[in-house]
Amino acid sequence: MEKGRVPSLLLLMAVALASCLSPAICHNITAILNNFPDYTVQNNYMSSTKIADEVNSRQTLTCLVLPNAVMSALAANHNPPSLKKALQLLVLLDYFDPQKLHDIDGGTTITTTLFQTTGEAIGEQGFVNITNLRGGRVAFGSAIPGSKLTSDYTKSVRQIPYNISILEISDPIIFPGLIDDGAASDRNLTAILETAGCKIFASLISSSGMIKIFQAAMVTGLTLFAPNDEAFKAKGVPDPNSLSSADLVTLLQYHAIASYIPKDSLKTAHHPIATMASGAAGNYEITVSVQGDDVTIHTGVDSSRIARTVLDETPVCVLTMESVLLPEELFGKAPAPAPAEANVTPIPQGATPVSAPAPTPKLAKVPTPAPAFISPPESPVTAPATESPVTAPASESPDEAADKEDDKSLALVVKVSSSFVGLAAAVAVLW
């Protein structure tokens, strides 16, 4: 190694070591919370909403965490946009450890949160009030005038002075209107579908009330298969307006999975996948096949190729479909191919169809052919002109009469054939 390169390498190693020791670069909120099972729900939501990335990009802050049961209740009452705001309100852009909480000057302080930096906060929505009350109690609440202190400091979880502090609180910090802003989110999903050419599907989920179900599922995970408008106009697709309300809801639920499964993940699905319609009423499952980059969904009644990915933001994925997915439980199995037509001899008019095979005709005894040296007859043998058709005696059944007539006809044919055989043999000898 060249001597001149040694100092350069040492310098690079020193820079790398300094970078790893730098709190601004190396702290990882997800890794820290992984060590505390009581906060796994919040940890997952912080990762899925990308708030964890924002926390890791800042050098000094305090992260307020909620126990799993409290966080689950918060998620159940919020749609994705409002839940993200509630989580951003729990990230204070200042360092507070237990000692600093109890030493707040004047007993009250207003601090900035991550929500304030988004530009979406109105008035004082992005600020939090921290008040040191009597008896050592420290309470948190929205800084909007008139708001109540709804949450208490519970305990310290972890500190890396003076970089990041993690404190547990009893309840989320909510400002007026935060929970009730779901209507805008509903319109967003509808707008996404309409822009993607799925106006009919968007209208159906809105009119049926399924928009609320899908919106709630978007908090924890939702994959939506949205048929485009042309799919509803295809031959054989039932008119949605002709379905009962219950069947329409089931059909719409069949187009959704209550978890996040993007297109690439669907490619590795080798087993039937349950949909939101799956339950006691039936399996309502789908299966997947892959050819190259094409992914096709099969229902047992029809199949549809995924046209494109409209939205793929964890934990929500919206895919457009070329066909409406028709569940077997509602519309039956796919029709079997028609059997090949057999060559059936038509039954003469007035005849009685015979179900059993016809009896084998009785064969007359075949006369022994004439010797080869017998001279051929002068003219072909024909049936006597005076011979009249044989009719069955009155006492005979129609079947017996028919059998006798067949015997005579066959004997005549054999007789004529024998004559020709003898003639051919004679000609062969003379030749």
Residue 335 has pLDDT above 90, yes or no: no
Q: Same domain for 214 and 327?
A: yes
Q: What is the DSSP letter of 316?
A: E
Query: Which range marks the domain in which residue 137 is found?
Result: 18-169
The answer to the question of residue 100 being in a domain is yes
37: CB partners within 8 A, 6+ apart: none
In this prediction, residue 262 carries a pLDDT of 93
Q: How many domains does the chain have?
A: 3
Q: Is the pLDDT of residue 377 over 60?
A: no
Domain end (from 127, 148, 169): 169
What is this structure's pTM? 0.44
Domain annotation covers residue 236: yes
- Helix ranges (H only) for 162-310 are 182-195, 199-207, 210-217, 229-232, 245-253, 263-266
Strand order in the sheet with 316-321: 256-257, 222-227, 316-321, 303-313, 294-298, 285-291, 273-274
**24 pLDDT above the threshold of 90:** no
Residues 122 and 29 in one domain: yes
Shared domain for 162 and 196, answered yes or no, is no
Q: Based on the domain organization, do 310 and 429 belong to the same domain?
A: no
> Residue 176 falls within a domain, yes or no?
no
- The pLDDT of residue 217 is 85
Q: Is residue 2 part of a domain?
A: no
Q: Give CA separation, 405 vs 348, 363, 367, 393, 397, in Å.
A: 19, 12, 19, 12, 13
Confidence of residue 219 (pLDDT cuts 50, 70, 90): confident
237 and 326 share one domain: yes
7 is a domain residue: no
Query: Measured between alpha carbons, how far is 230 from 2 in angstroms, rounded to an integer?
Result: 69
Which of 114, 148, 169 marks a domain boundary?
A: 169
Average pLDDT over residues 54-63: 94
Percent of the chain residues topping a pLDDT of 70: 69
What phi and psi values does residue 167 have, to the nearest 5 degrees? -125, 140
Residue 326 lies in a domain: yes
For residues 227 and 308, state if they share a domain: yes
Output the domain CATH number for residue 138: 2.30.180.10
Predicted pLDDT of residue 23: 41
Query: Does some domain include residue 414?
Result: yes
> Does residue 350 form part of some domain?
no
Residues 200 and 130 in one domain: no
Taking only the tens place, the pLDDT of each residue in 116-158 is 998 888 889 999 999 998 888 999 999 998 888 989 999 999 9
pLDDT in tens, 158-209: 999 999 999 999 999 988 777 644 444 455 789 889 989 999 999 999 999 9
